[in-house]
Amino acid sequence: MSEVTTETTEVKVNTQPQQPQKGGQRSDSKGGQRGQGRNNRDRGDRREKEKDPFDFKLVEVRRVSKMFKGGRRMKLSVVVVVGDKKGRVGIGLGKGDDVRSAQEKAIAQAKKNLVLIPLKGNTIPHEVNHKFKASRVFLKPAAPGTGIVAGSSVRMVVEVAGINDVLAKILGGNNKITNAYATIQALASLRSTRL
């Protein structure tokens, strides 16, 4: 016959209360308390942020200077056109030390100055001729499929406004900024039914 032997092992349990750790000692190998390690950051950042409905286009970037006691101080001036492609459009100007900060300021200002444009399908309801300072712009509705026939800043404004078929002509000066302002004012003067 064979003998069966059984062994018993003793397990020692520490019955003393655990004292809190001092001076930045880690309690586990992951680098800190559970759930607070560098790999378990706030998951809210990972979620996709709500997409901004506005699209923007840079009209012009200029280097401007201001005289100070020690010499000239250079900054950048940015003009931006903002629109939601559903008939809302605005223009803003921002200044900053770099293009990024100036652009953010310009976008914030443009969102405060939005204008609602009455659309007739994918075009404007009637033709309009508008003057702003030295700039004069002429906008005319076009047949479906024509596309945007416009130059420089007028094209940018019309694209972000959501107008797909339009004919435009710049008749005044060639300053992009004043042409953009003239276009926005011309679109703002449109009426859904012509008087």
CA distances from 64 to 84, 95, 178, 191 (A): 30, 9, 17, 38
Strands (E), the chain: 55-68, 71-83, 88-96, 115-116, 128-132, 135-141, 148-149, 166-170
Domains, the chain, in order of start with CATH, read 55-188 (3.30.230.10)
- What confidence category does residue 99 fall into, taking pLDDT thresholds of 50, 70 and 90? very high
- What confidence category does residue 192 fall into, taking pLDDT thresholds of 50, 70 and 90? confident
- What confidence category does residue 15 fall into, taking pLDDT thresholds of 50, 70 and 90? low
pTM metric for this prediction: 0.73
pLDDT per residue as tens digits for the range 21-75 = 555 555 555 555 555 555 555 555 555 567 888 999 999 999 999 999 999 999 9
Instruction: Give the per-residue pLDDT at 32.
Output: 54
Residue 184 pLDDT exceeds 60 = yes
Would you say 176 and 153 are in contact if contact means Cβ atoms under 8 Å apart? yes
For the residues 175-189, what does the mean pLDDT come to? Answer: 96
